[in-house]
Amino acid sequence: MNEKYLQLLAEKFPSVESAASEIINLSAIRSLPKGTEYFFSDLHGEYGAFLHMLKSASGTIKNKIDILLGKTLSAAERERLATLIYYPDHEIKRIRERGEWNDEWQRLTIYRLVLVCETVSAKYTRSRVRKSVPEKLRYIVDELLNVTDDVNKDYYYDKIIGSIIETGIAESFIISFCELIQALAVDKLHIIGDIFDRGPRPDIILDELLKMHDVDIQWGNHDVSWIGAAAGCRALIANVIRISIKYNNFDLLEDGYGLNLRALAVFARETYGADECTIYYPHVFDDNVYDPIDPKLAAQMHKAIAVIQLKLEAQLLVAHPEWEMEERSLFVKADFSNGEIEIGGKKYPLLDANFPTVFPNDPSALSPAENELMAILENSFLHSEKLQRHIRFLLSKGSMYNVCNGNLMFHGCIPMDENGDLQSLEIGGVKYSGKPLLDEINKLVNKAFFSEDNYARDFMWYLWCGARSPLYGKDKLAFFEQYYIGDKELCRERYNSYYEFSENAEVCSDIMRQFSIDEKRGHIINGHIPVKIKDGESPVKANGKLFVIDGGISKAYQRATGIAGYTLIYDSHSLSLAEHKPFISENGGESPLIRIVERLERRANISDTDKGAELAEQIRDLHELLEAYRSGAVKERG
C-alpha cells in the first residue's frame, strides 16, 4: 500500500489496538444479515400513498407483528398496533378520544413496541440503532432493547416502563419508538424514476426522501422534464406547467414551489376570455387545498400554455435536425383557417382551431405577449429556492442507471431496433448505444443544470419524449394528436422493441453483462410501463430476470392496472413483491398482498453485498497498517 495512505490511515487508527479493534468491528458488521432494500417506481406525486408505503415498510411491519404476536393478539388488535406504528400522533389522539389512554394501555403498548423493535433491529449493530433514536431517549431505548438477564427480564422491563409512565413522557416516548421502528424497517431505498407529474405533491415526496439515510434515484422522463425546466429550458417549463394544470395540481406549482402563475392567468383571460376551452378542462383526481382555481380559468390557462409549448417544441425541432423528428412538428403544418390538418395523405378536422396568437406566415413564433410571459415564468423557475434545492438533490442522488447488489436499475429501456440490436443515438456528432449511451446522458443531464450549455439544455427535451430516448421508449409523444385530433390510431404510441425483446431471458443476460453483472444471480428492475395485472400481465418477466414494478401508484393509472402500485422488497432471505391496494386515508386501507418471487439459496449477509465488499477492502487496508506497525514501518502515535 502507498506509504502516504498508510500514514493517513494511522491518523485515524493511531495504535495496534485501535486498528485491531476496527478490524473486529468491521468483521462483525459483515457477518450481520443484509439490510432490507425497497424498490419503488413511478410515484407520480402520490405523496399520501408513498408516505404510507414508507411508514408501513410496504406491509412488512404488519407481517412482523402477525408473526410475533399472532398467538397472543387478535387480528383487530394487531391491525391497531400496526396503525399506531405508522401514524402515532393521529392514533394516540383517537385513543384519547375513546377514553382508552390509561396506564395499562401505555404499559402494554410500550412492551409490544419493544418486541417489534427488537425484531426489526436484529440485523443492525447497536451503534446504528442508537443513532436512529432521539438523543434524549437514547439511554432508555438502549436499555429496553438490550436486556440480557432472561431471569429478571420482565421485572426490568416493568420497572423501566413504569418509570416512563410515572414521569409523564409516555406519549413522546411511544411516538419516538414508532418512528424508530419505521426508520429501521427500511434500510435502503431505490426510486426507479418518475417522482413528478400527475399526482398532487411530488415536492412532499422529495422532502421525505431528503430525510432518508440511504436513497438512490434513477431518473424517469418526467423527472428530467422538471430538471430541464429548473435549468431554464422554456419548452420544458411550458410542459411541466401544462401537465400540472391538466391534472389540477395548482397547489404544487404555487404553494409547493412558489411559482408565479398570475401572469399566465392574466394572459389566458385576456387572450382566451371568450373561448369556452372545452377540451382543456383539468382532470380532477385531487382537490387543491391552498390554490383552488376556477375551472374555466384553469382551462384557459391550460390552452395558453399548451399553444406556447407546441410553438417552442417546433423551434427546437428546427434547431436540431439530428433528432430526425421533423414529422412531429404538426402544429406548424395545421391549416387553422380551415380547421384541419393533413397527416399521411388524409385530412382530419381539428377539435380546436381558435388560435389568435398564431401568425400564419410563422406559426412557431411566440407573440410579444407570449414571449414576455415565458420570460416571467422562466425567472420564477430559476429563482424558486425549494425547486432548485430539490433538483440538486435529484442530481446528487440520481443517475440514468444504478447497479447495486447485483441488480441493474433503470427507469425506461435500453433502446433496441426491430431486430433486437442496440439502437444508437447521436449526441454531439458521436453515436452511442447501450451502456455508453446512458453514461453519456448522465454527463449531459448534469451539464444542462450546472452549466450554460444550450445543447445539453435542449437535449433534456429530447430525453423527455424522443423516440430513441432511453427514458421515453416510445416512437412518439402524441401530444398534438391527443389534444387536437383524437383519432385512436393516430394517438397510439408504440413502445420501443426493448419491451418485447427484454422478455427473453438471454437478452436480459446480454444487457446485464454490459454492466458487469453476474447474469445468473442478477436482475433488471424497470419502471415506466404500467403492468396491467387485471389483464393477466405479470411484473415478473424473462424467467425472473426482469421485474417491471410500475403498478399504478398514480390514481390516473389504477383503472388500467387494477391495483395501486408495487414495491419490490429484497431482504436477507428473498425477493418479494408487495401488491398495493388504493390508499384511502391515514389508516392506509387494506394491507398489501406480499408474495415471494425468489428465495435465496442461503441467508444473505452484509458480506454478500456491495457494502460488504467495501468493508472487506477496509479490513485489508487495516491489516496492512497492523503489519506496518509491527514491522516498524509506521510508528504508533500516543
Predicted confidence (pLDDT) per residue in 90-142, tens digit = 999 999 999 999 999 999 999 999 899 989 988 887 878 888 887 877 878 87
SS3 306: helix
- Angle at the Cα of 431 (from 427 to 437), degrees rounded to 5? 75
Return the residue matching grid coordinates 408474495: 595
SS3 23: helix
> Quick one: angle between helices 75-86 and 170-185, nearest 10?
90
Cell of 130: 442508537
Q: Of 23-37, 95-109, 146-160, 474-488, where does mean pLDDT reach its minimum?
A: 146-160
d(CA 391, CA 411): 18
Q: What is the pLDDT of residues 266-311, one digit of tens each?
A: 999 999 999 999 999 998 877 777 677 899 999 999 999 999 999 9
Q: Quick one: average pLDDT of 211-238? A: 97
Q: In which element (H, E) is residue 274 found?
A: none
Looking at the DSSP bridge assignments, the partners of residue 426 are: 431
d(CA 233, CA 377): 11
Strands 398-399 and 346-349: unpaired
Q: What is the residue-averaged pLDDT of the chain?
A: 92
pLDDT of residue 454: 94
Q: What is the pTM of this model?
A: 0.93
The beta-strand segments (E) located in 200-332 are 215-218
- Do 561 and 553 meet the contact criterion of CB atoms below 8 Å apart? no
pLDDT of residue 591: 82
- pLDDT surpasses 60 at 635: yes
By C-alpha distance, which of 193, 263, 261 is closest to 40?
Answer: 193
